[in-house]
Structures are given as structure tokens and as C-alpha cells.
């Protein structure tokens, strides 16, 4: 047991609940159970805090903000009478500040929390399921119920020669002692797009390559617009291709691709793999315990977070679905409550927001137009470019658009996606609208504050029935 996290359970080996994994999901389950009065074993292996604080959300978003600061200074000239310039003066100091932030949050939001919950015993070590509970470092502990919350790992594409290439991941790319001269990013999902733009803005020559289009789960209008904006940042984007082979060369890495039957050769100093993450389910004894796994290695759970083995629950990225830290914490809370109180709570992701921290930001909730049609809805859509939103005009930055999807029969909102510099902070209004079954008409009649990005949602809702370009300020 770690000295920093020791508490009154030291030496005991019988618990109401064992939680495997000490990231955001594991802590959510453990704290929830402790608040229910349960005795909890929280089992961590490796750095406490999991993916988000250590190698995911926190380090990447602070670096993205730093790159945005550079960009904002450089484009000051969009306002008449202004001029600006900025550049990186000390890359290692920037990386060091990122590491300091990570260490501070890890300490405050994880390590320092454990003594606050007397019902939680923190155990460090590799864990496996056995017949009565869990084995940690070869020692068995008994637990009435178990929650598995071991997160995910970087996925690696099956490219011939990949094993011999010293590729970067989203973790190691942010640990480089020197800023890379050139970078090839594999993958056009949210991690690939975010990090490609961040590195481009700090002065790295970036090529982004992906088999499909950027953000394939986003609306096509948003994907296409974001591609244009990333190209404006100097990023070379290659889509609709297949990977043929990769190898290390004298000055970096070489990738052979095929685009529409034509072979091409790409080179860069470094290659960053951002092709998705896979559930961290290996080595837990799940198959021996008869816990069913999906083809991608995720633990199969029902709407109550139950696995196929009675008494064993799972939550977060290890389930292979909704891989967002807040959904992991939400699912783990439900798992703990159900494990202790009789399986009464159901997981609900119908109003789940998601955000991509590019600039402009991409945010969404609910169904896309294609998803709504696939589910049998008769749909109607509204697309409003940001040049119709007064906030964007005042900021002299009209990059982006807002798209709403509604049920053509009932007018009920089904989905919303925003591409805007402040889109991440605007999507929650659409979350509440969809959660509470609002119609497009009701959203369009709601009072919004003027000169805000979120006002664009009102304009998008109004545009189902009128041309918002013909409205005066605040009209309607």
C-alpha cells in the first residue's frame, strides 16, 4: 500500500467493493461507494490518476491553449490598426510548465483526496479476478462486488514495418525535449486533429494522413470546413488513402501510401500515431472469469453496467464505448451505486456532449443527420454559417457553422453540432434542449444573451422557418 494513501483499512482483506483502476472512473466508483458507507479497495497499477490528468486531457489542452496564444497574437491584424507577432522562445520551459500542471492536478485531485475518504483503501499493484474477489500482487482480497475501470491504451495501426519505427503517441509527443521540425500525424480523429494543429502553430511542418475524412463521426459540413481551417494553419491533409508500409530512415520516418491507385511516399522527422485507443482489458483474468469481451477487447456491459459475470461491473474506456472522461466517471458512479443498491440505475448517453479542442472548436450532442435517418426519423436540418452570428462578426472571426437536426414530424430536436471558436462552451445549451425534449420552435423562442456564440443556436433554430439574414439584431 502506498504510504501517501494509507488509511484505516491497512491490513484488511475483505471489502464490500473492489475497484480495479485508479483513474477518473475508478476514483468516481470508489468515492461514490465510500459515500454509501461501503468499505472499498481501490486498486491502481502505475501512475495514479489514469489517462486524463496524466497523459490525455490536461497535458494536451494546456499545450493547445499555448499554441492558440501564439496564433491569436499573429492574427491581431484582423482588427484594423493592430499588429502582432509571437513565437516559441523556450520549448523545454513550455513542456516543463505542462508537467508542473499535471503534477499539481494529480496531487490535488487524486492523491490528496484519498485520506478524505476513510472507507477507501488504496492498493498498488497488478490485479486479476479470481473466484472470490481479486488477486493483487499475488495476494487475494475478498470483495462482494467488483468494478473494472482500467481505461484504454493507444491503438497502433497494422502497417507493415511499423514495429521497427520509433513512433510517437499522444503521450510521448508532448514529452519531446526538442520541438520537432516536421511531423506526420496518422489519424484524423479528435486527437489527430488537435495535435496536428497544435504542432503546426508552434512551428512544426505537419502532414496529417487518414484513411477516411477528418472527424468521421461529425457532420460532413463540419468536417469539410475544419479541413479548410487546418490547411490555413499550414497543415497538409491527405485523406481517402491506404497505408502500405513504414520504415525508419536516416532523417526520420518514411511512409508509403496509396491514394486512388497512385503510390506516394511521405517523409518526416517524426510520426505520431493517433488512430484511436483500445480497451485496456488484457491481463485481468477476464476470460478465465467468463467475463464476455467484444471483438475490440472491450468488456461487454448492459445498461446497468453489469458484465456477463454476476457481481462484476465495468465502466469507462475499458468498455470500448463513449471514451470521454466525464462519461467514464458517470458510468463508474452508476456501476458503484448499482453494485451496492440493487441495479436500479440505467446508463443514458442520449444527451452526451462531445468536444474537439481544435480552433475553431467542434462540439456536438445527440444524433447526426445520418444517424437520425438510420434510426428511421424523417429529418429536417438547419445550417447557419457563423457570419450570421453577431458575436463572430464583432470578433472578426467568422470561421464555422452550426447545424441542427430535428424530427420533421414533431419538430423535436435530435442533434446539434457547432464549429466555432467558442463552440465547446456553447454546446451545453443544446444538451439541455435535447435532454428535455425541446422543439426547434421552442429553442428559437428562448431568450439568449446578445453577442454570444451560443446565440447562434437560437438563430439556427429560427432558420428552420425563416431567413435569419433578414432579421435585425435580437429580432425574434
Q: Is 276 exposed, middle or buried, given 0-12, 13-18 or 19+ CB atoms closer than 10 A?
A: middle
| Residues 457, 397 within the same domain | yes
- Of 341, 376, 394, the last residue of a domain is 341
**Considering the domain boundaries, does residue 101 fall inside one?**
no
Number of structural domains found in the chain: 3
- Consult the annotation and say whether 474 binds a ligand: no
- Consult the annotation and say whether 10 binds a ligand: no
Residue 131 has pLDDT above 60, yes or no: yes
Which of the four pLDDT bands, split at 50, 70 and 90, describes residue 475? Answer: low
**Rounded average pLDDT over 434-446:** 97
- Consult the annotation and say whether 331 binds a ligand: no
**Considering the domain boundaries, does residue 452 fall inside one?**
yes
Count CB atoms within 10 A of the CB of residue 212: 13
Query: Which domain covers residue 121, as residue numbers?
Result: 3-49+110-154+278-341
| Residues 295, 425 within the same domain | no
**Considering the domain boundaries, does residue 93 fall inside one?**
no
- Consult the annotation and say whether 463 binds a ligand: no
Residues 6+ apart with CB under 8 A from 195: 60, 170, 173, 185, 272, 274
| Residues 178, 323 within the same domain | no
- Of 223, 250, 276, the last residue of a domain is 276
- Consult the annotation and say whether 188 binds a ligand: yes
SS3 35: helix
Which of the four pLDDT bands, split at 50, 70 and 90, describes residue 471? Answer: confident
| Residues 400, 419 within the same domain | yes
**Considering the domain boundaries, does residue 75 fall inside one?**
no
- Of 341, 367, 389, the last residue of a domain is 341
Residue 36 has pLDDT above 50, yes or no: yes
- Consult the annotation and say whether 217 binds a ligand: no
CA distances from 238 to 186, 211, 277 (A): 10, 8, 21
Q: Which of 3-7, 29-33, 265-269, 291-295 has the lowest mean pLDDT?
A: 3-7
| Residues 422, 328 within the same domain | no
- Consult the annotation and say whether 189 binds a ligand: yes
| Residues 318, 389 within the same domain | no
Per-chain mean pLDDT for the chain:
95
Residues 6+ apart with CB under 8 A from 1: 10, 121, 122, 123, 124
| Residues 192, 173 within the same domain | yes
- Consult the annotation and say whether 203 binds a ligand: no
In angstroms, the CA 331 to CA 145 distance is: 16
- Consult the annotation and say whether 187 binds a ligand: yes
In angstroms, the CA 452 to CA 338 distance is: 41
Instruction: Give me the CATH number covering residue 36.
Output: 3.50.50.60
| Residues 316, 174 within the same domain | no
| Residues 322, 373 within the same domain | no
**Considering the domain boundaries, does residue 433 fall inside one?**
yes
| Residues 333, 370 within the same domain | no
| Residues 230, 332 within the same domain | no
Tell me the per-residue pLDDT of 134-173, one tens digit each, with 9 for 90 and over. 999 989 999 999 999 999 999 999 999 999 999 999 999 9
**pLDDT at residue number 133:** 87
DSSP state, 293? B
- Consult the annotation and say whether 297 binds a ligand: no
| Residues 36, 131 within the same domain | yes
DSSP state, 165? S
Question: Position of cell 495476494?
Answer: 139
- Consult the annotation and say whether 191 binds a ligand: yes
- Consult the annotation and say whether 465 binds a ligand: no
**Considering the domain boundaries, does residue 263 fall inside one?**
yes
**Considering the domain boundaries, does residue 235 fall inside one?**
yes
**Considering the domain boundaries, does residue 77 fall inside one?**
no
Length of the chain: 476
Amino acid at each position: 500500500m502506498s504510504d501517501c494513501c494509507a488509511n484505516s483499512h491497512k491490513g484488511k482483506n475483505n471489502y464490500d467493493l473492489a475497484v480495479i483502476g485508479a483513474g477518473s472512473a475508478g476514483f468516481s466508483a470508489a468515492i461514490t461507494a465510500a459515500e454509501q458507507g461501503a468499505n472499498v479497495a481501490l486498486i491502481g497499477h502505475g501512475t495514479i490518476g489514469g489517462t486524463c490528468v496524466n497523459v490525455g486531457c490536461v497535458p494536451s489542452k494546456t499545450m493547445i491553449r499555448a499554441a492558440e496564444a501564439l496564433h491569436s497574437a499573429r492574427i491581431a491584424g484582423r482588427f484594423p490598426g493592430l499588429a502582432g507577432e509571437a513565437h516559441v522562445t523556450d520549448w523545454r520551459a513550455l513542456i516543463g510548465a505542462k508537467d508542473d500542471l499535471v503534477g499539481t492536478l494529480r496531487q490535488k485531485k487524486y492523491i490528496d483526496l484519498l485520506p478524505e475518504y476513510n472507507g477507501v483503501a488504496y492498493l498498488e499493484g497488478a490485479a486479476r479476478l479470481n473466484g472470490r474477489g481479486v488477486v493483487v500482487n499475488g495476494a487475494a482480497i475478498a470483495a462482494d462486488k467488483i468494478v473494472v475501470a482500467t481505461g484504454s491504451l493507444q491503438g497502433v495501426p497494422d502497417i507493415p514495418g511499423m514495429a521497427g519505427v520509433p513512433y510517437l503517441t499522444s503521450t510521448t509527443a508532448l514529452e519531446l525535449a526538442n520541438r520537432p521540425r516536421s511531423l506526420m500525424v496518422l489519424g484524423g480523429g479528435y486527437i489527430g486533429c488537435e495535435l496536428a494543429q497544435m504542432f503546426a502553430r508552434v512551428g512544426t511542418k505537419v502532414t496529417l494522413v487518414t484513411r477516411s475524412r477528418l472527424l468521421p463521426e461529425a457532420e460532413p459540413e463540419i468536417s469539410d470546413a475544419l479541413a479548410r481551417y487546418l490547411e490555413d494553419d499550414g497543415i497538409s491533409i491527405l485523406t481517402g488513402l491506404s497505408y502500405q508500409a513504414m520504415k525508419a530512415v536516416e532523417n526520420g520516418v518514411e511512409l508509403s501510401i496509396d491514394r486512388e491507385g497512385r503510390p506516394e511516399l511521405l517523409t518526416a522527422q517524426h510520426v505520431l500515431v493517433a488512430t484511436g485507443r483500445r480497451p485496456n482489458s488484457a491481463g485481468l483474468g477476464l476470460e478465465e472469469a467468463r467475463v464476455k469481451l467484444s471483438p475490440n477487447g472491450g468488456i461487454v456491459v448492459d445498461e446497468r453496467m453489469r458484465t456477463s459475470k454476476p457481481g462484476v461491473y465495468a465502466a469507462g474506456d475499458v468498455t470500448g464505448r463513449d471514451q470521454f472522461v466525464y462519461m467514464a466517471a458517470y458510468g463508474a458512479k452508476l456501476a458503484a451505486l448499482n453494485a451496492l443498491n440493487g441495479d436500479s440505475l440505467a446508463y443514458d448517453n442520449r444527451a452526451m456532449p462531445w468536444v474537439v479542442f481544435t480552433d475553431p472548436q467542434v462540439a456536438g450532442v445527440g444524433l447526426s443527420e445520418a444517424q437520425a435517418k438510420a434510426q428511421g426519423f424523417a429529418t429536417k436540418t438547419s445550417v447557419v454559417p457563423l457570419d450570421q452570428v453577431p458575436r463572430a462578426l464583432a470578433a472578426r472571426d467568422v470561421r464555422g457553422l452550426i447545424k441542427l437536426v430535428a424530427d420533421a414530424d414533431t419538430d423535436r430536436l435530435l442533434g446539434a453540432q457547432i464549429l466555432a471558436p467558442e463552440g465547446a462552451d456553447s454546446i451545453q445549451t443544446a444538451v439541455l434542449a435535447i435532454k428535455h425534449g425541446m422543439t426547434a420552435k421552442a429553442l428559437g423562442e428562448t431568450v439568449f444573451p446578445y453577442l454570444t456564440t451560443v446565440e447562434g443556436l437560437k438563430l439556427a433554430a429560427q432558420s428552420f422557418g425563416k431567413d435569419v439574414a433578414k432579421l435585425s439584431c435580437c429580432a425574434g
